[in-house]
Chain A
Amino acid sequence: MSAIAPAPGRLIDRFESGLDAPICLTWELTYACNLACVHCLSSSGRRDPNELSTEECLRIVDELGQMQVFYVNIGGGEPTVRRDFWEIVDYATANSVGVKFSTNGSRITDEVAHRLAASDYVDVQISIDGATAEVNDAVRGAGSFATATGAMERLAEAGFRGFKLSVVCTRQNAGQLDAFKSIAERYDAQLRLTRLRPSGRGADVWDELHPTAEQQRQLYDWLLAHGEEVLTGDSFFHLGAFGDSLPGLNLCGAGRVVCLIDPVGGVYACPFAIHDEFLAGNVRDPGGFTRVWRESDLFAELREPQSAGACASCGMYDSCRGGCMAAKFFTGLPTDGPDPECVLGHGEEALAAVAAGPTPRPSPDHSIQAVIRSGLI
């Protein structure tokens, strides 16, 4: 994203007070998934019986079109397992709502690849979390690297230029950034790196998977060196406290310029905050999504000036804005204090000060194991 400004002024202040419609939003179509990635931020696995019907999904698209939301990031679960997936995608693009969908690649056949290559309004994001099968499959499951690679080959062969190769940065893959970039270039794709959040099942593995302080520094230098050619979903704004800002919007857009619609219609402040604490309403409520976005108490609160709390005396607060709300919440930290991965080390101090005890659990949990535990299957 770039700001084109003939006049000075802080656009960030406008965004922090919210817009009448989100700039873009994440829409998770199903909790069903054929993989069981250890860090899944939505704790996906099994379909929820209460998931939105096709008709309900199309009405959401109508609303997004009326609100002039430019595009939706469709995810899940694995969104392509929904039988009406293409119907929803086609309806969105016909209503001038662009679609970018995230997939593990398992359903990207030759036919699908050709269909995607022919559309200007649909973008694809293939997820891998290691530049080698060994590193990737340890997180995403046996065979998942080969599946993703096969999908990328088919997309490239079909002539799809510039699809996205999406990687969550972890301690295990932080040394593979150049290798990821080479893979993207091999398939004429664009690399997208995002931050690991302790959300969903990510809460269980965050301690082992989140990058070390030293790796964060290397990542920051690497991102600065590559500028806008590598996408980040603006997710590393907490690294701005190293000095220079990274490209993109350096603020938390939760409930202000972005949000999440989950498979059962819940509207959350952001994709990394699937917890009742960040649930603003449901698209099934009277007034639909539009009313939740414009009138919910939670979003109104998020659009008020936020307290910097323990970060108020820090000279870098203007750069990092206190970091990620979800990362703080799920590690048990107050949301008006340092991010657990604060590059100045304040997060580690704060974590040490939090009494060892239960951190908030993500809700709901659709993991296969969780369902077995609760005796539903």
Chain B
Amino acid sequence: MGERLAIDRIRCDGYGMCAEMFPEGIELDDWGYPILRDGIIPDGLLPLARRAIEVCPVLALRLVNAPARPQSTSPVRPRPVESAPRS
């Protein structure tokens, strides 16, 4: 049991300051929107996660309790991830 970050994707406007505060847990995609790393945040990094939550101008981030193995929230579609054809 521990805590992980959760994000309100509609509130998020791609400010990207969260990734500046907590690069170990958040990186930005090609358009500046956050990609959250899966899994529980190690205790030592929780202060950084909290700073990331505070700095967000739209309060899109929050901490939630997480089970040891976080469950996928995507629809259950056992489609293997296809890589690009050899090009």
Partners in one complex: no
